[in-house]
A = this chain, B = another copy of it.
Amino acid sequence: MQVKRGFASDNNAGVHPSVMDALLSANRGHAVAYGDDAYTEAAVRLFRGHFGERAEVFFVFGGTGANVTALAAVTRPHHAVVCAETAHINVDECGAPERFAGCKLAALPTPDGKLRVEQIEPLLAHSGDQHRVQPRVISVSQATELGTVYAVEELRGLAEFARARGMLLHVDGARLANAAAHLGAGFRELTTEAGVDVLSFGGTKNGMMYGEAVVFLEPRLAEDFKFVRKQAAQLPSKMRFVAAQFTALLAEDLWLRNAEHSNRMARALAAGLARVPRIKITRPVESNAVFALMPREAVARVRERFFFYVWDEQTSEVRLMCSFDTTEDDVRELVNVIAEAVGGNEGKDEV
């Protein structure tokens, strides 16, 4: 079967060997289902080490599941969730937040996938007006879907704004590890200490097989969450296998090594492409994604060798994602293939 590595998404990668080992080790005897087991207990302890002792941690199956349950837990259906137009919850979840939480998303345009306080303020003009949905949550992606990263200061600013207006801050952290690696910051600094209320914490895109976590930094928000999770069909029965994977990621620094590696590969790719004529890097490379304008005819040719997505058909902007298993050879080869496809050899030797 298929063994090629591509640049389509970090979820096209497989499972990190250490995570796989953890799955094997956890496969001994019986364990009580649904999270009442020692593996889950151990993994939660690790989360609390990273996020603080007050954190309430719940494992779920997937990233969309993490987002919709986190949002449903802290909203009522007449609330609105403020997010960037590019947010995964707005674009890539087939309306799951609206359906499950009942809420409206107030999606704001941004140049770089990052929300600013100034954009949100006007939405509050109708606070208390019974005809209008009531903004309740600010949801940011960290790193964003455009590969950019909020500085800790920016998150803190959003959190303070939220708190001052009775709102909450949610972080879609499907790639939080990549953001942390970029910033050289720990999870606690990026979330608990920055004032984040609730977090979707990604595992699958950073080397796990499946499994994400919903982490409540503000524990009172977690009160009913176990019911929300079950009602959303996001309660894994053989929970120990999700827990064991997270333990593999978090017990030592595997989460960081994976994220640093994929970030580094993205920077290398961007550096290589910078020397290819007719290719223009379009966004700051702050995590594991590289966005670039690529001539349409080149796209087709490169795709014969590597799978990746066209982000914007209008402008022929492509997205190239690196993952924990992307190699320097992969990057070099991709740059060469692109260089050939656009008809320029200039960048070739130097990569």
CA A9 to CA B34, docked complex, whole Å: 11
Chain B residues with CB under 8 Å of A235's CB are 62, 64, 130
Q: Is A99 an interface residue (CB 8 A)?
A: yes
Q: Is A164 an interface residue (CB 8 A)?
A: no
Looking at the complex, which one of B28, B61, B224, B230 makes contact with A14 (CB distance below 8 Å)? B28
For residues 316 through 350 of chain A, which have their beta carbon under 8 Å from a beta carbon of chain B?
A: 325
Contact of A233 among B37, B68, B125, B133 (CB under 8 A): B68
**9-residue interface stretch from A90-98, A112-120, A297-305:** A90-98
Interface set, chain A 46-95, CB cutoff 8 A to B: 61-65, 68, 76-78, 80, 91-95
Q: Are A4 and B29 touching (Cβ within 8 A)?
A: yes
Tell me if A131 and B230 are in contact (CB < 8 A): yes
Q: Which residues of B contact A63 (CB under 8 A)?
A: 237
CB atoms of B233 and A64 under 8 A apart: yes
Closest Cβ of chain B: how far from A127's Cβ, in Å? Answer: 11
Cβ of A257 within 8 Å of any chain B Cβ, yes or no, is no
Q: Please tell me if the beta carbons of B230 and A125 are within 8 angstroms of each other in the complex.
A: no
Contact A102-B99, Cβ < 8 Å, known A204-B238, A227-B78, A233-B232: yes
> How many angstroms between the C-alpha atoms of A204 and B228 in the bound complex?
22
Is A32 in contact with chain B by the CB < 8 A criterion? Answer: yes
User: CB-CB < 8 A to A192: which residues of B?
Assistant: none
Structural contact, B14 and A227, CB atoms closer than 8 A:
no
Number of copies: 4
Within 8 A of B (CB), among A234-291: 234-238, 241
Digitize A173-209: 1 where CB-to-B-CB distance is under 8 Å, 0 elsewhere.
0000000000000000000000000000000110001
Complex CA distance for A103 and B94, rounded to whole angstroms: 9
Q: Is A31 an interface residue (CB 8 A)?
A: yes
Residue A24 is within 8 A (CB to CB) of chain B in the complex: yes
Q: A29-B14, A233-B68 are in contact. Are A313 and B125 (CB under 8 A)?
A: yes
The B-contacting residues of A in range 5-44, CB under 8 angstroms, are 5-6, 8-9, 11-15, 20, 23-24, 26-34, 37-39, 42
Contact between chains at A78 and B210 (CB < 8 Å): no
Which residues of chain B are near A42, meaning CB under 8 Å?
1
